[in-house]
Amino acid sequence: MKTIRTIATLLIAAFLVFGPVAAFGATSTMTLSANSLTYSGQANITYTGTISPAPTIASSVVLTTMGPSGAVDIGLAVVNTGTGAFSYTLVAGGNANWVSGTYTVNGTWGAQGNTATKTTTFTYSGSSTQTSATTTVTSTVFSTTTVTSASSDAAALATITTDLSGIQSSLNVLTTSIGTITTGLTTVSNNVNALSSSLSSIQSAVNTISTGVSGITSTLQTISTSLSAIGNISGQLTTLTNSVNNDQTYVLVVAALAAITLVLELAILVRKLS
């Protein structure tokens, strides 16, 4: 049991140490495109794309639209957990930073320890009033810097959020694995206890059999001794029979001598009387 627990502890420790490293090292791919290459005035701009492989938990893509005057929009596009597809729509010309020029769209995504980035571009043509207003605003460098910083912070926050979501998912998997290991260890412990009880019963039965065998051995020894005694009795009976036969012969001889003696005495007595 100590060996099994040690192995389980080492496996859990290895998962905790190396699991997050392997997870954060994985990278997914992203596609990203706008619904047109050029826009002007108050136009609807729609971004679409996919994350591959599709995530299995809720996540979003951070879309940052940067123009010649800095960031003009920052938005979140929810990713479909079944297909990995996402979509986001914004309105061009919504603020003074929408000036004529080339715009870059940066897409950033992260979830379940995976990350993906993608960029695309389009051209925008603003009206003369928007251009004039933009010239006034872009003279304020601090405003552009603030928007750009907010864009970076939002992207970083989104990445941290998705990473935390991935960590939580990994912790859930780890908790489930620990529960499964605990159940397995409990089952093994119960099986070992049952086996120990069975071995105790077998040992008791063996002891009983051993005692019975010892008793049988003792009985056989007694029977052997008795048989030996019977053999001795047979010899004694033979000796007794021989003695009896000898005694009978002696008695017959004595009786014959006594009869002869009696006949002689009678003869002598008869002779005297005559």
As beta bridge partners, residue 102 has: 123
**Quick check: 144 pLDDT over 60?**
no
For the question of whether the overall pTM of this predicted structure is more than 0.95, the answer is no
**Quick check: 93 pLDDT over 70?**
yes
Residues 6+ positions from 268 with CB-CB distance below 8 Å: none
pLDDT at residue number 170: 62
Largest CA distance in the chain: 206
Percent of the chain with pLDDT over 70: 66
Question: Would you place residue 150 in the very low, low, confident or very high pLDDT band (cuts 50, 70, 90)?
Answer: very low
Planar angle of CA 65, 66, 68, nearest 5 degrees: 145
Q: 202's torsion region: left (phi>0), alpha (psi -120 to 50) or beta? A: alpha
Q: 93's torsion region: left (phi>0), alpha (psi -120 to 50) or beta? A: left
More confident residue, 142 or 110: 110
Say how far apart CA 105 and CA 116 lie, in whole Å.
14
Which amino acid, 177? S
Say how far apart CA 245 and CA 146 lie, in whole Å.
145
Set out the domains of the chain in order of their start, with CATH numbers.
24-173 (2.60.40.1930)
